[in-house]
Amino acid sequence: MDRIRIVGGNKLNGVIPISGAKNAALPLMIASLLTDDTLTLENVPHLADVEQLIRILGNHGADISVNGRRERQGESYARTIHFTCRNIVDTTAPYELVSKMRASFWVIGPLLAREGKARVSLPGGCAIGTRPVDLFIEGLQALSANIEIDSGYVNATAPAGGLIGARYTFPKVSVGATHVLMMAATLANGTTVLGNAAREPEVVDLANCLNAMGAKITGQGTSTITIEGVRSLSGARHRVLPDRIETGTYAMAVAMTGGDVILEDTDMALLDTALEAIRRAGAEITETNSGIRVVRNGAGIKPVDIVTDPFPGFPTDLQAQFMGLMTMAKGTSHITETIFENRFMHVQELARLGAKISLSGQTAKIEGVGRLKGAPVMATDLRASVSLVIAGLAAEGETMVSRVYHLDRGFERLEEKLTRCGAHVERVSD
């Protein structure tokens, strides 16, 4: 099993290309099930989750081909992938596939809308909480779907004439459920209005792609999304937006270590709240023609309190990384997690590096320390794993991160990107 070895102490200087967003690519790929034409997606990152979803879509009958690589400094980043699903050959998403990646449950929306039926395994829990699918089920029922749960599977059927548009207000904001209901409603009869919908850029990206395919969606980026159903969707070509979580992660790495890095092919507007928190911690962040410049020289890291919230608030997917940054702040900071339970499992691993963190409910108190010291640590989930990398970059000596398959799910060529900016990071295979 691979591990990542980090020798801390080097500042980061150079250019880091930002990949396409995993959290946008996955629903965009699933949207290919809505049409029998070809959906071409550009800027698709090469990640374990993307590869897993390719296998899942193939199981449903999608024909998938990859071409058009963009070369950068001798290495290929991003991919153009063509998805063609002329015929749905199987409307069942089995447990052995869904259990490996929760987002695969989202196929229930397009399958139900296009084929009138779907049998999808319940995804179960995960390391950062239960993340139930109640909102998905309630929303599909609002569109007149009949839902039965049997033997660990959600069996969904649409009325004989197809799903029927309706008004549904989410009891709480859910990005995944917003994706699913928006996709399902594109082929429903009549108009669907989704209230308290997620406003994340990835939701907007999916809506824009669906509109390019012939859907009639308005209000994306606000809390009320209106979808006027159409008879069918066509193919389209769409570019996946930049990964705001990767952008924020590398910005925090620069704030942690010091240095001067250009984050290329990204957009400040995607994560204003997070970048403002990083500025308050002492980094200079400015927009450039090619992306974002992050600089920290001289003064140390300042303590900053944050609370995670749905967009446009501070992203829960950057909470662990920001905690890594705060471990060396000159003072005490507080981080409150409001989105997921059990998302503080990285605390114990950061403590192995010398961090001083205490928990009270969903709030972590971080007392900054003068130095961290390298140690063996274990990744517990995707975002927690990269918080250990950030801490390791500033720690004295060697940090060895195990279970890096978590990293491979969401960060494309992390060690290569950091190494090119002067970090001492390498992948070690046992």
Q: Which residues are catalytic?
A: 126
Is the preceding omega at residue 171 within 30 degrees of 0, hence cis? no
Residue 296, CA atoms < 13 Å, CB-side half-sphere: 23
Please check if 242 is assigned to a binding site.
no
Q: Is 175 annotated in some ligand binding site? A: yes
339 labeled part of a ligand binding site:
yes
3-class DSSP state for residue 296?
strand
Burial environment of residue 307 by CB neighbours within 10 A (0 to 12, 13 to 18, 19 or more):
middle
Question: In sequence order, what are the residues at sequence separation of 6 or more whose Cβ sits closer than 8 angstroms to the Cβ of residue 422?
Answer: 10, 11, 12, 13, 14, 259
- The rounded distance, in Å, linking the Cα atoms of 250 and 236 is 32
Taking Cα atoms as reference points, which of 14, 57, 50, 9 lies closest to residue 33?
Answer: 57
Q: Is 302 annotated as a binding residue?
A: no
317 is in an annotated binding site: yes
**DSSP H helical segments within 258-300, as ranges?**
272-280
On whether 22 is known to bind a ligand per the annotation, the reply is yes
How far, in Å, CA of 259 to CA of 263, rounded?
A: 13
Q: Which of 346, 343, 369, 342 is nearest to 356 (CA)?
A: 369
The verdict on whether residue 196 carries a ligand-binding annotation is no
Q: Are 207 and 344 in contact (CB under 8 A)?
A: no
What lies within 8 Å, CB to CB, of 57 at 6+ separation is 29, 30, 32, 33, 64, 83, 85, 107
Secondary element (H or E) of residue 335: strand 332-336
Query: Is 172 flagged in the annotation as binding?
Result: yes
- 294 assigned ligand-binding residue: no
User: Binding site annotation covers 173?
Assistant: yes
Residue 6 · residue 425 · CB < 8 Å: yes
Phi, psi of 381 (to 5 degrees): -160, 180
| DSSP letter, residue 107 | G
154 is in an annotated binding site: no
CB-CB contact of 66 with 51 (8 Å)? no
23 marked as binding residue: yes
Q: Is 306 annotated as a binding residue?
A: no
Q: For residue 140, give the H/E element and its range.
A: helix 134-142
Residue 174, annotated ligand binder?
Answer: yes
Torsion, Cα 142 148 152 154, to 10 degrees, reads -40
**Cβ-contact 140, 147 below 8 angstroms:** yes
Question: Using an 8 Å Cβ cutoff, are 31 and 85 in contact?
Answer: no
Q: Which residues are annotated as a binding site?
A: 22-23, 102, 131-135, 172-175, 317, 339
Q: Which residues are annotated as a binding site for UDP-N-acetyl-alpha-D-glucosamine?
A: 102, 131-135, 172-175, 317, 339
Q: Which residues are annotated as a binding site for phosphoenolpyruvate?
A: 22-23
